[in-house]
Amino acid sequence: MNIVEVKSLYKSYTKSKPTKYAVHNVSLGIEHGEILGLVGESGCGKSTLGALMLKLIEPTKGEIWFDGKNITNLTFRNMRKIRSHMQIVFQGSSNAFNPYHTVRQIISEPMDNYTKFSSAEKERKILACLESVGLGAEHIERYSGELSGGQRQRIGIARALILDPKFVVCDEAVSSVDYGLKKQILKILYDLKQEKGFTYLFISHDMAAINAVCDRVAVMYLGNLVEILPSTDATALHPYTKALMAATLEPDPKIKKKKLVLFNESGDFSYPHGGCPFQSRCLYASEKCRTEDQLLREISDGHFVACHLI
């Protein structure tokens, strides 16, 4: 069963013509208890899609469903109850903590906003939550300004997860941290999913991080979904996914940059109005790719690709 589903979703931030879409005709479901990865280059619409799913921003067109309910037109007030089941962990979210707040204050905040717990219950929950992110009771009185970057990141996760949300968007949650910490945080997120059955949309441009934790992977290009891989070891079929993987798995940053634009560098990369969004960069583009829209088709069990050539 899908915990979140978006149907023919569009988002445009501007009124200029022709319309440029940050999210263009996206239909996607996230199953209960899975980690769905969302990858694509910077600016392709990943954060916009995550924010739409949480109803932090309004769609231009299309529907958003949560836990079997159409929430597209719910007012801010009516979203309140549902919002307590949704959370976001984003890059740098922990830098926004008030340095004069203690860990206890920071982690209690969602509980104070949404529910009435006794103080004993609150204390018990905070300790359990700290433990689940690998921190001890000795941290509870510390001020956030006294914590290391890694500790703050964990507190950010603890705060997001304290109300046992049904759905969590992790937007580049491990992108700015060093390798060792990244591994630790990915393990925490993964273990919590196994233990509590959380469902995540895991947004990242880091293929290695995606491969470490995700069940399925959705690939985005210029606001469109171009491929959904049924597992992290499924073979990529879309020319864009192939190039993206080749580039992101390349350790040398100089070659990496080259690889991403290895296809058709002379192309016009502006937003195409009609046909495949990837047409101008694709080495294999034909007339059909320039004129006919591509929709995701199921190629094999759970593997969807939007490409004429496959």
Closest approach of Mg ion to the CB of residue 28, in Å: 17
Does 43 interact with ligand ADP (rule: CB under 6 A)?
Answer: yes
Which member of 47, 132, 199, 280 binds ligand ADP (CB under 6 A)? 47
Closest contact distance (angstroms) between CB of 47 and ligand ADP is 3
Q: Which of residues 69-88 bind ligand ADP (CB under 6 A)?
A: none
Please confirm whether the linkage preceding 251 is cis (ω < 30° from 0): no
User: Does the protein bind Mg ion through residue 48 (CB under 5 A)?
Assistant: no
Q: How far is the CB of 209 from ligand ADP (least distance, A)?
A: 15
Residue closer to ligand ADP by CB (options 43, 197) is 43
Q: Does 275 bind ligand ADP (CB under 6 A)?
A: no
Helices assigned H by DSSP within the chain: 46-53, 76-83, 103-114, 119-132, 149-161, 179-196, 207-213, 239-248, 253-260, 287-291
Q: Strand, helix or coil at 291?
A: helix
Pick 219 or 306: Cβ nearer ligand ADP? 219
Site map for ligand ADP, 22-41, x if CB under 6 A?
Answer: x-----------------x-
Task: Tell me how far apart the alpha carbons of residues 214 and 257 are, in angstroms, rounded to a whole number.
Answer: 25
Q: Which listed range, 47-55, 75-83, 101-109, 162-170, lies at the site for Mg ion (CB under 5 A)? A: 47-55
Looking only at the bridges linking them, the beta strands covering 216-221 and 35-39 are: parallel
Residue 224 φ then ψ, to 5°: -110, 145
Q: Which of 34, 39, 45, 166 binds ligand ADP (CB under 6 A)?
A: 45
Contact between 42 and ligand ADP per CB under 6 A: yes
Q: Is 48 in the site for ligand ADP (CB under 6 A)?
A: yes
Among 30, 36, 39, 44, the residue binding ligand ADP under the rule CB under 6 A is 44
Helix (H, G, I), strand (E, B) or coil at 173: coil
Phi and psi torsions of 180, nearest 5°: -65, -45
Q: How far is the CB of 223 from Mg ion (least distance, A)?
A: 13
CA distance 14 to 20: 7
In whole angstroms, give the CA distance from residue 266 to residue 281.
8
CB 268 within 8 A of CB 17: no
Q: Please give the structure tokens belonging to residue 171.
A: 């937007």
Q: What are the tokens at 246? A: 């080749």
From the list 25, 47, 204, 280, which residue makes contact with Mg ion (rule: CB under 5 A)?
47
**For ligand ADP, which is the closer residue by CB, 22 or 209?**
22
Indicate the residue among 117 and 271 with the shorter CB distance to ligand ADP: 271
Residue 162, H or E segment: none
Taking the complex as a whole, the smallest distance from the CB of residue 301 to Mg ion amounts, in Å, to 30
Cα separation values, 20 from 17, 29, 44, 179, 187, Å: 8, 24, 12, 36, 38
Closest approach of ligand ADP to the CB of residue 38, in Å: 8
Residue with tokens 């769905």: 36
Residue 48's binding partner out of Mg ion, ligand ADP, none, with CB under 5 to 8 Å set by partner kind: ligand ADP
What are the residues binding Mg ion (CB under 5 A)?
47
Chain residues that interact with ligand ADP, rule: CB under 6 A = 13, 22, 40, 42-48
